[in-house]
Amino acid sequence: MGNKRKVSYAVVSIMLVVLLVLSGCSSDTKDVGKSANADKNSSKLKLTFGHFWVDDTASNKLFRQTLADFRKENPNIEVEEQAIPHDPYRVKMTTLGASGELPDLFVANGSMLIDYIPKGLVGTFNDNLEADSNWKNGFLPNSFDEFTEGSKIYGVPTAMFTVHLIYYNKDIFDKVGIKSFPKTWDEYLAAIETLKQNKYIPIAMGNKSNVPVGSTLFGTLADRITGTDWFKAQKEGKAKFTDPEFIQALTVLDDLNKKGAFNPDINSIDQDQAHTLYYNKQAAMIVDGAWAVGSLSEQAPEDVKKSTVLAVLPQIPGGKGSPNAVAGGSGWSFAYNAKLDGAKKEAAMKLIKKLSDESHGKQQVEINDQPAVKVSNYDKSKLSPLGQQYREFISDKTFTPIYDIQLAPALVEAIYKGIQDLLAGAVKPEVLAKKIQTVRDSMK
């Protein structure tokens, strides 16, 4: 009996050990499963993406749809958007540029890149463009110019457009006796006076953020007087903002304001509010970039759409610039954080290509946008009448530099804030020119 008990105890002990081992294996298997799932989840790449495409416009809807498509096609890539409206975005990116904490992927204009490049914050696209000739050769001529320093390319253009267009209501012009858009500066000033006398705001603009007048009006107006060679010389340090031609440009803008060309609350409202003045037929003209073709086509009343015609500023007496030139270019680019490498960089490139290939460009054209890529085949019937008018109107225009794209952020702020002060009657042209040059000198 004693031996049997020993055997029984031994068998029971063995069984208990086996059960414990099996239980442990089961637990280990669960842990392994959890670990495998964790590894699977951790293998999902995450990209932060800074942009300002938040408004409910056709172009922004297209961007969001393309991003949604990318997410479906690439479930292993998580794109976390850091999106805020345009003007706050510019301020935020200047702050992030100072701290060096940029998103993985972001949109940047040339002015931002001027700040980021010396700090080593942005990566280059040369190798990726060379590795994909179809992608590289699909862009319009000169579309990389604003994002290139030396031989290195730091941005892929998001669009190619003019930032200066005059949208005018031909019915209003006809009603007050202006039978065609003025061909000379004197005729333009006379038209402004006629519109005023008939209780219309001649030019509605919203300069609350200080960018619109400087970017969409003054850049082209200044080129009419200084010519593009002066701007290039200024960038090289061979010309100054205190030169007579630049002071004349500020003076012409000051005179326009004093003649009542603009709405009195120009510095208190934004461009959307200025557009409303135009939509309500309180204003005969608005000055804005080509992006307004889309918003006006979507939002303006039908009679306003039908009567809207495009124009640019006429020549200014004694000016060195061409009357057929307008401030324009690529404006904004897709850029990426220099810290990206390996799989994250590949994922960023994949998304940038998705947002800048011919297929996306075709969709841009068909919603009245202006892509930076060549689009050989698109459905013209999808374009609004104003969109068709724009593509014809711009075909013979040449582009001149955009101040807030080609100048350093501090200098842009000095010019645009100064213009805001000029419109408020707080500074004279000569004094403003000296202030801007002082900022320019401090950057040497």
Ranges of each domain in the chain: 45-161+329-398, 162-328+402-442
As given in the structure block, the two tokens for residue 210 are 């200080």
- pTM, 2 dp: 0.78
Do 45-161+329-398 and 162-328+402-442 share a fold?
yes
CA nearest 150: which of 131, 122, 128, 124? 124
Structure confidence at residue 14 (pLDDT): 38
CA 77 to CA 385: how far, in whole Å? 39
Architecture of the domain delimited by 45-161+329-398: 3-Layer(aba) Sandwich (3.40)
CA 159 to CA 212: how far, in whole Å? 18
Structure confidence at residue 42 (pLDDT): 53
For the domain spanning 162-328+402-442, the CATH number is 3.40.190.10
Structure confidence at residue 57 (pLDDT): 86
pLDDT along the chain (444 residues), means of 10: 40 39 43 40 84 91 96 97 92 92 96 94 97 94 90 95 96 97 97 98 97 96 97 95 98 98 98 98 97 93 98 96 92 96 96 96 91 90 92 90 90 97 98 98 87
With a CB cutoff of 8 Å and minimum separation 6, the contacts of 327 are 162, 163, 164, 215, 216, 219, 220, 223, 399, 400, 401, 402, 403
DSSP classification of residue 215: I
> In this structure, are residues 372 and 399 in contact, taking their beta carbons and an 8 Å threshold?
no
> In this structure, are residues 121 and 337 in contact, taking their beta carbons and an 8 Å threshold?
yes
CA nearest 298: which of 204, 383, 394? 383
